[in-house]
């Protein structure tokens, strides 16, 4: 990043902070105009402090008041690290009842994301949720409805669409967005996500078939860990660091990293309000419980744009974005002469809110919110369903259901065990 941009960003940041002082809403302003008393700081709780949740402790701009985990070891070791005013919980519903918490961070495995997001919204909380947004398309729709009906703010925890280097491409999304908007590449576009274009698909989230039942460790409330998921005999490989290998909880490498890399593409292609109409898979047969690998997944939109997930880096000459008039490769190389200069010469995209505390204070939607987040999670889940069924599928982006395939539609909403509902 050039110094120039940094300077400008700092300049803007300072000025916006000053401006925020004036527009701040009364609830948060106790110490007078422009002065933020410690008691006015936004407060947060984190549900799930095993893996991803650890990162949420240090996110800026908010004060941590509560953490929650169904594993006592995770809970206690985290409590030792955080301040004495942070309280520990093992049932997230108790956390939602606390009136002094503004934002709930959801860092559990994905089979909980939908339920917790909806319940948090209904409890009047703003929500900061880990990726992938939801484990099913139906849960995603419910989150959108609940956030909309209750007027809450939602942010999904991936950031490439608005900040930092866009994986191996060595650039932020902004110049890519400008390049696509300029029409220099032509239309429709094909985006390839593979090691060749900058991101190697991670296939270490592979489940094991034929797991041996094991005794549940004393520190873990396995029933609560499972929650809405079907009851299956405990084995340590099902939980904690390796849960991503099982369809009951996540979607393997696609679930883990898919939304990270697909979400910015939705933005770049201007597809935030729609979904692909087709998903095609090239994959070995999948186990009903344990997730395996895949070779290639191809998504096609109604206008012919495509996203290709090339798991094996088969296309060694792949461009990141390819259109009829030109290509942009890894490292922002391009066959379009003077593309960098062209991009610099063009207007910036419309500004978006990229700090969640600013979104919470101003009540303006965060750059990556429940709506576009749901759309990019839908792409992940379309892939997951096609893999689980072992066939290509067609999708209706308006109705948000598969066309002529009841089996596939059965996986849009999936039954939840016990008392859990969404």
Look at residue 54 and give its three-state secondary structure: helix
Among positive and negative, which fits the CA dihedral 206, 207, 208, 210? negative
CB of 200 to other proteins, least distance (A): 3
C-beta closer to other proteins: residue 39 or 392? 392
Comparing CB distances to other proteins, the nearer of 123 and 302 is: 123
What are the Cα distances from residue 271, in Å, to 263, 277, 280, 421? 10, 12, 19, 30
**Degrees (nearest 5) of the Cα angle 349, 355, 357?**
145
Which letter does DSSP use for residue 71 in this model? B
Enclosing H/E stretch for 238: none
Q: How far is the CB of 210 from other proteins (least distance, A)?
A: 5
Non-local CB neighbours of 92 within 8 Å, separated by 6+ positions: 47, 68, 116, 119
Using CB under 8 A as the binding rule, whether residue 124 contacts other proteins is answered as yes
Site for other proteins in 127-186 (CB under 8 A): 148-152
Taking the C-alpha atoms of residue 53 and residue 76, their distance in angstroms, rounded to an integer, is 14
Q: Does 242 bind other proteins (CB under 8 A)?
A: no
CA distance 281 to 278: 10
CB of 410 to other proteins, least distance (A): 5
Which residue from 31, 97, 186, 270 is in contact with other proteins, where contact means CB under 8 A? 97
Residue 288 binds other proteins (CB under 8 A): yes
- By CB under 8 A, is residue 260 in contact with other proteins? no
Q: Is 333 in the site for other proteins (CB under 8 A)?
A: no
Can you tell me which of 38, 83, 337, 351 binds other proteins, judged by CB under 8 A? Answer: 351
Per-residue x/- track, 202-221, other proteins (CB under 8 A) = x------xxxxx--------
The least distance separating other proteins from the CB of residue 24, rounded to whole angstroms, comes to 9
Residue 391, judged by CB atoms within 10 A of its CB (0-12, 13-18, 19+), counts as middle
Interface with other proteins, residue 200, by CB under 8 A: yes
Does 352 bind other proteins (CB under 8 A)? Our answer is no
**Pairing state of beta strands 321-323 and 326-328?**
antiparallel
Size, binding site for other proteins by CB under 8 A: 82
The span from the CA of 400 to the CA of 99, in Å, is 35
In terms of CB distance, is 23 or 58 closer to other proteins?
23
Residue (146 or 379) nearer to other proteins, CB: 146
Least distance from other proteins to the Cβ atom of residue 154, Å? 12
């Amino acid at each position: 990043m050039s110094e120039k941009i940094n300077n400008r960003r700092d300049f803007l940041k300072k000025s916006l902070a000053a401006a925020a002082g004036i527009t701040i809403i009364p609830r948060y302003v106790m110490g007078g105009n422009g002065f933020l008393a410690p008691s006015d700081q936004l407060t947060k709780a984190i549900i799930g402090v095993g893996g991803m949740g650890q990162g949420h402790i240090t996110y800026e701009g908010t004060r941590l008041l509560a953490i929650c985990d169904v594993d006592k070891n995770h809970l206690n070791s985290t409590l030792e690290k955080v301040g004495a005013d942070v309280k520990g919980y093992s049932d997230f519903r108790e956390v939602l009842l606390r009136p002094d918490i503004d934002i709930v961070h959801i860092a559990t495995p994905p089979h909980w994301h939908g339920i917790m997001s909806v319940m948090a919204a209904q409890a009047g909380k703003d929500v900061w949720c880990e990726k992938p947004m939801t484990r099913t398309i139906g849960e995603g729709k419910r989150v959108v409805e609940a956030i909309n009906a209750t007027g809450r703010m939602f942010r999904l925890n991936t950031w490439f669409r608005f900040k930092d280097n866009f994986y191996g491409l060595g650039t932020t999304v902004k110049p890519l967005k400008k390049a696509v908007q300029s029409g220099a590449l032509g239309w429709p576009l094909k985006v390839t996500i593979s090691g060749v274009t900058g991101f190697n698909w991670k296939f270490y989230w592979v489940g094991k078939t034929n797991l041996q039942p094991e005794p549940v460790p004393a520190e873990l409330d396995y029933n609560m860990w499972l929650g809405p998921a079907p009851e299956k005999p405990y084995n340590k490989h099902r939980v904690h660091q390796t849960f991503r290998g099982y369809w009951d909880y996540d979607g393997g490498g696609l679930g883990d990293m898919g939304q990270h890399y697909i979400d910015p593409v939705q933005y770049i292609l201007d597809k935030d309000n729609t979904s692909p109409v087709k998903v095609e898979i090239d994959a070995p047969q999948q186990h009903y419980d344990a997730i395996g690998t895949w070779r290639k997944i191809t998504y096609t939109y109604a206008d012919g744009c495509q996203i290709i997930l090339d798991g094996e880096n088969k296309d060694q000459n792949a461009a990141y974005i390819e259109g009829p008039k030109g290509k942009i490769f890894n490292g922002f190389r391009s066959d379009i002469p003077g593309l960098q200069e062209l991009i610099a010469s063009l207007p910036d995209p419309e500004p978006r809110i990229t700090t969640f505390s600013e979104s919470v204070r101003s009540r303006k939607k965060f750059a990556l919110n429940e709506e576009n987040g749901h759309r990019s999670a839908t792409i992940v889940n379309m892939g997951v369903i096609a893999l689980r069924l072992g066939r290509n599928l067609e999708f209706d982006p308006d109705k948000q259901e598969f066309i002529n395939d009841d089996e596939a539609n059965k996986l849009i909403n999936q039954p939840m065990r016990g008392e859990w509902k969404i």
